[in-house]
Amino acid sequence: MPDCIFCKIVRGELPSYKVYEDDKTIAFLDIRPVNAGHTLVVPKTHANNIFDISPEDWAAVSETVRKLTIAIEKGIAADGVNIAMNNREHAGQVVHHPHVHIIPRFKGDGLKLMPQRTYKEREAEESAQKIRDALKQ
Ligand code: 5GP
Ligand code: ZN
């Protein structure tokens, strides 16, 4: 994809603090980190998000995330790590090339990632059934 900024980073046309590369994936520091060491793992082949990445590329991204999470916790001396992925605009995706955020966390850093709530009556049962039905299609 010529105008995709993460494709440009993959091709070396834009600078980045690259920390890892293999035949299918690269990992580099996010330019605006939540905490220092915040890393993005991306497939080298362009797609938009989780919905159209190939199963092979997703498997490769997942394994790179696993490796990098271990290295980031150790190297940055983090107390824990969050892994996150935004898919589509209304889920907060800004760069439309699949990427997994690996965010080192520190005791007392005060970050609250997602507000949670309780289910309304029948909502859990109905939601679970909709997902089971979609899996059958
Ligand atoms: P999204 O909201 O799409 O999940 O996250 C996109 C991420 O890409 C953001 O956290 C943003 O800081 C990061 N980002 C955007 N442009 C660049 C760039 O040119 N270089 C790097 N390294 N990160 C970028
Ligand atoms: Zn791309």
> What are the tens digits of pLDDT across the range 58-88?
999 999 999 999 999 999 999 999 999 999 9
What CATH superfamily classification does 5-111 receive?
Answer: HIT-like (3.30.428.10)
Sign of the CA dihedral 47, 50, 54, 58? positive
Q: Which ligand is nearest to the CA of 94?
A: 1
- The finding on whether 6 has its CB within 6 A of some atom of ligand 1 is no
CA of residue 135 to ligand 2 center, whole Å: 28
- The finding on whether 45 has its CB within 6 A of some atom of ligand 1 is no
The H-or-E segment that residue 32 falls in is none
CA of residue 44 to ligand 2 center, whole Å: 8
Task: Answer yes or no: is pLDDT of 113 > 80.
Answer: no
Sequence spans of domains, the chain: 5-111
Is 99 part of the annotated catalytic residue set?
yes
In angstroms, the CA 96 to CA 51 distance is: 11
Q: What Cα–Cα distance (Å) separates residue 76 from each residue in 15, 73, 87, 93, 110?
A: 22, 6, 27, 26, 18
pTM of the model: 0.97
- The finding on whether 76 has its CB within 6 A of some atom of ligand 1 is no
